[in-house]
A and B are shown apart, each in its own frame.
Chain A
């Protein structure tokens, strides 16, 4: 049976917590010698929270705040380049023009598209940045959910797929094979943002920090002093006060995709906001998927892919990628939740 999430049936973000941070359990003697700065900023329609620990022998608080501002500046510039909602972003430029012929773009956008192609290939098309026409068809952009007619679905599916995106890396160009293909980096935007932010912080010598974007993507630099890692707790899909998993991450990124935050109900059935790009339909049978990976781009893309793939294929992916860990939670009754840990060196695996 399909378990019913307890939240309101309205669409849009319920404002709940996907992945909850706890910054260490108690202040250790080692941490007592550090000072902590936490800064919150809005970007990408969510709240970014950066917490840094620094040694007062090396940094003064103004230095650290300056470094954090440099990181946020990079995040804002990234958003201006990749958001499909900003009219003169590179994404908008590509979407408007690439069907007519090759469009010249910056090197980092080419790299991003190459990664999107690679991860699409590695996951059998479970993650795809061209899924926009499906999201549009199902009414998620407008927050007006509707079940599309089969011919419409087939028409939208014909515009989806990384094979429709042609890259020329030496020339730094991108072209679409068909009219109506649309790039949407929304599925990896937060991960990308944390990648650039972490790079800035590392460049300035920061060795202990935890950053999150909307609590669904987390980046960890080093560890809190005296601790084995930064503690991240993953919430119970049925009860946001409860946690189903607690893990430690260090120099890693973690992303969670869940069906319990954004969904809509039509004709008595709930549809989640994550689409299977292969079928054109919202994914069924999963409550959440968490990916832990060396980059935010990877963890964001893979949490979505794992949600689409389900436990068995996620396990197969992770066997081939030992640098990636996963926790997948299939749909189950609240008292029978069975999170599956993959690539964790514990008996729970």
Chain B
């Protein structure tokens, strides 16, 4: 079979999303197929400008009507990136909400402002795209999720990997074709070798800017200050915590970790090093669950004795999976990857391309056919070898398994956002996805702060109303 996802496959997902709409009893809005939704962008610094250029501008179903930022250079840059012209500029988002007509907002501001902005925009009747991490506390996250539900508005969270076709294809291969076998370990890291600071302009602030910005250093380098950010856990880790949640279709039971400010002692208040272990309990109701055949006589006998075998002779009792996470700022060799490790193979996922490594002796139909199929020249099948490390040559020779697309994940996530806002349905990165990754991030942070394990209470991600599926994916 092919390992390529077609555009048609993506469209089928839109159909699946429409199905969710009906299940939730929500009425689609009355937009014509060729209509566009009007979007305002709040926060047009680095990430906001990236979305304006790569996502919002390219989305066929979005018109950018206004941009808002409290820092004039970012506002002017955002306006230009939005296409300039008739796009309106604001420094105060409340004034923009009062004066402009639009249906949705893109909120890409420092974390400490997410809650108020998202709440105010939802209460003003706007669909919200809010960058991860959703809010600064679990309580705040739950409150905005509840408002979105009550007001029947879309609240999408910026986990762009959810819109990356390669990740979606990997989910399908893992869940439906079992190419990884049983996922029994997840290992992710985001390693960089710099101070994670942004340069701060020497130009004095205007009187208008000073109304919003008491300290420009803290405003620009907000990721380094506790009152504004959770540091590595909230600005980087939540992306990858979400990947573990997605592949396992589960939330962790508990987390523990160590970390500190050990290299960049430069006045920052957040850690430059974090190391954590999340423990997941996986059972048959999780789509990431996989029963296994006994692989040894002893394993078979023990499973029979403990009544762990199902009717097909497979070991089908619940099990635990450990997710090991690290983020550091003094070495970039390993970069940013997510290893999803199963007893049949491993996905090494990155946003620009991914690899599949087959375990020795694994029977993986997808991998076998990928080797033979001329259409699958990009399919990678290499054998990692029992305990052998991969040589550099093998890695160099390796080709990524990737999904052909001329739409960037950012364009996809905003087209998906607009589509759901106009026609109903829930986005792939819906508020439950954002809530769950935020809970993992904040729980990890608490474990680091307090020096003890944190049990993740299912009540934190349970509501007394029907919530969207946090593990949607689209199929080839």
A interface residues (Cβ-Cβ under 8 A, vs B): 58, 62-63, 66-67, 69-70, 77, 80-81, 87-90, 92-93, 96-97, 104-108, 110, 170, 172, 203-205
Min CB distance A38 to B, Å, is 17
Contacting residues, chain B, for A89 (C-beta < 8 A) = 408
Q: B366 contacts the other chain (Cβ, under 8 Å)?
A: no
A179, chain B: closest CB distance, angstroms: 16
Contact partner of B195 (CB less than 8 A), chosen from A62, A70, A77, A97, is A62
Measured between beta carbons, the chain A residues less than 8 angstroms from B202 are 58, 204-205
**A70-B199, A110-B83, A203-B73 as given contacts; A105 in contact with B405, CB under 8 Å:** no
Give Cα A103 to B97, complex, Å: 30
Task: Assess whether B199 is in contact with A63, with CB atoms less than 8 Å apart.
Answer: yes
Tell me if B58 and A92 are in contact (CB < 8 A): no
Contact between B59 and A104 (Cβ–Cβ < 8 Å)?
yes
B203:A93 contact, CB within 8 angstroms: no
With CB as the reference atom, state the residue of chain B lying closest to A102. B60
State in angstroms the CA–CA spacing of A96 and B186 once bound together.
Answer: 37
CA of A211 to CA of B282, assembled, Å: 54
- CB-based nearest A residue for B412: A88
Contact B406 A66 (CB under 8 A): no
| Residues in chain B near residue A96, CB distance under 8 A | 406
A63 to B52, CA, bound (A): 27
* B61 (CB) vs chain A CBs: closest residue: A104
Least Cβ–Cβ distance between A175 and chain B, in angstroms = 13
**Contact: A81 with B82, CB < 8 Å?**
no
Chain B residues contacting A62 (CB-CB under 8 Å) are 195, 197
Asked if residues B406 and A106 are in contact (CB atoms below 8 Å), the reply is no
List residues of chain A with CB within 8 A of the CB of B60. 104
> What chain B residues lie within 8 Å of A90 (beta carbons)?
58
Interface residue B50 (Cβ < 8 Å from any Cβ of A): yes
Can you list 26 A-B contacts with CB-CB less than 8 angstroms, sorted by A residue number?
Answer: A58-B202, A63-B199, A69-B194, A70-B198, A70-B199, A77-B50, A77-B53, A77-B54, A87-B405, A88-B406, A88-B407, A88-B411, A93-B407, A93-B411, A97-B406, A104-B57, A106-B52, A106-B58, A106-B81, A107-B84, A108-B80, A108-B81, A110-B83, A203-B73, A204-B199, A205-B203
Residues of A within 8 A of B405 (CB): 87-88
B198 — which chain A residues lie within 8 A by C-beta?
Answer: 66, 70
Closest to A110 in B: B83
Q: Does B85 have its Cβ within 8 Å of any Cβ on chain A?
A: yes
Which A residues are in CB contact (< 8 Å) with B80?
107-108
- For residue A108, which residues in chain B have a CB less than 8 angstroms away from its CB? 53, 80-81
Instruction: Tell me the smallest distance from the CB of B395 to a CB of chain A, in Å.
Output: 19
Q: With the chains together, A62 CA to B264 CA distance in Å? A: 12
The distance from the CB of A170 to the nearest CB of chain B, in whole angstroms, is 7
Docked Cα-Cα span, A108 to B81, in Å, equals 7
Contact A67–B407 (Cβ < 8 Å): no
How many residue pairs, one in A and one in B, have C-beta atoms under 8 Å apart? 71
Report the bound CA distance from A197 to B40 in whole Å.
27
| Cβ-closest chain A residue relative to B62 | A104
A81 and B53 contact, CB distance less than 8 A: yes
> What is the CA–CA distance of A104 and B53 in the complex, to the nearest angstrom?
11
Whether a CB of chain A sits under 8 angstroms from the CB of B206 is no
B174 to nearest A CB, angstroms? 23
Closest chain B CB from A168 CB (angstroms):
12
Q: Which of A67, A106, A205 has the most CB of B within 10 A?
A: A106
Instruction: Judge whether B50 and A107 touch: CB under 8 Å.
Output: no
A108 to B80, CA, bound (A): 8
Asked if A87 and B406 sit within 8 Å, CB to CB, the answer is yes
A87 to B164, CA, bound (A): 13
Q: Which residue of B lies closest to A69 (CB)?
A: B194
Give complex CA distance A87, B80 in Å: 25
Q: Which residues of B contact A92 (CB under 8 A)?
A: 406
Q: Are B199 and A66 in contact (CB under 8 A)?
A: yes
Is B306 part of the contact surface with A, judged by Cβ < 8 Å? no
Is B404 an interface residue, CB under 8 A from the partner?
yes
Residues of B within 8 A of A105 (CB): 57-58
What is the distance, in angstroms, from A141's C-beta to the closest C-beta of chain B?
18
Bound Cα distance A88, B203 (Å): 37
Complex Cα distance, B119 from A123, in Å, reads 55
Kindly state the separation between the CA atoms of A78 and B336 in the bound complex, as whole angstroms: 21
B30 interface residue, CB < 8 Å from A?
Answer: no
18 more A-B contacts (CB under 8 A) besides A80-B54, A106-B52, A203-B73? A63-B199, A66-B195, A66-B198, A69-B194, A81-B54, A87-B404, A88-B411, A93-B411, A97-B406, A104-B60, A105-B58, A106-B83, A107-B82, A108-B53, A108-B81, A172-B57, A203-B201, A204-B202
CB distance from B83 to the nearest CB of A (A): 3
Q: Are A106 and B57 in contact (CB under 8 A)?
A: yes
Instruction: Please list the 10 inter-chain residue pairs (A to B) with the smallest Cβ-Cβ separation, ordered nearest first.
Output: A107-B83, A106-B57, A66-B199, A88-B408, A67-B199, A93-B406, A96-B406, A106-B53, A92-B406, A104-B60
Q: Which residue of B lies closest to A71 (CB)?
A: B199
Docked complex: B33-68 residues within 8 A CB-CB of A:
50, 52-54, 57-60
Which of B54, B405, B406, B407: most chain A Cβ within 10 A?
Answer: B406
Assembled-state Cα–Cα distance A205/B194 (Å) = 22
Report the Cα distance A204→B408, complex, angstroms: 30
**Residue-wise interface mask of B (387-422) relative to A, using a CB-CB cutoff of 8 A (1 in contact, 0 not):** 000000000000000001111110100000000000
A170 to B64 CA separation, bound complex (whole angstroms): 12
How far apart are the CA atoms of A81 and B53 in the complex, in Å? 9
Residues of A with C-beta under 8 A to B404: 87
A204 cross-chain contacts in B, Cβ below 8 A: 199, 201-202
Chain A nearest CB: distance from B209 CB in Å? 15
Chain B minimum-CB-distance residue to A97: B406
Residues of A within 8 A of B197 (CB): 62, 66
Residues of A close to B194: CB separation below 8 A: 69
For residue B79, which residue of chain A has the nearest CB?
Answer: A107
Q: Are B57 and A107 in contact (CB under 8 A)?
A: yes
Nearest CB of B to A277, in Å: 25
CA distance A53 to B459 in the complex (A): 57
Residues of A within 8 A of B411 (CB): 88, 93
Measured between beta carbons, the chain B residues less than 8 angstroms from A205 are 201-203
Q: Which B residues lie within 8 Å of A93 (CB)?
A: 58, 406-407, 411
B199 proximity list for chain A (CB < 8 A): 63, 66-67, 70, 204
Chain B residues with Cβ below 8 Å from A63 are 199
Q: Mark B179-211, 1 if CB is under 8 A from A, else 0.
A: 000000000000000110111011100000000
Please, how many angstroms separate the alpha-carbon atoms of A329 and B380 in the complex? 49
Interface centre among A70, A108, A170 (most CB of B within 10 A): A108
- A92 and B404 alpha carbons, distance in the complex (Å): 12
Residue of B with least CB distance to A170: B85
Task: Tell me the minimal C-beta distance from A147 to chain B in angstroms.
Answer: 30
What is the bound-complex CA distance between A220 and B133, given in angstroms?
40
**Closest B residue, CB atoms, query A59:** B202
- Bound Cα distance from A285 to B127, whole angstroms: 61
Report how far A81 CA is from B55 CA in the complex, Å. Answer: 11
Q: Return the chain B residue nearest A88 by Cβ.
A: B408
Min CB–CB distance A132 → chain B (angstroms) = 16
Known contacts being A66-B198, A88-B407, A205-B202, is A104 close to B58, with CB within 8 Å?
yes
Whole-angstrom distance from the CB of A190 to the nearest CB of chain B?
20
In the complex, the chain B residue whose C-beta lies closest to that of A199 is: B77
**CA–CA, A80 and B352, complex, Å:** 11
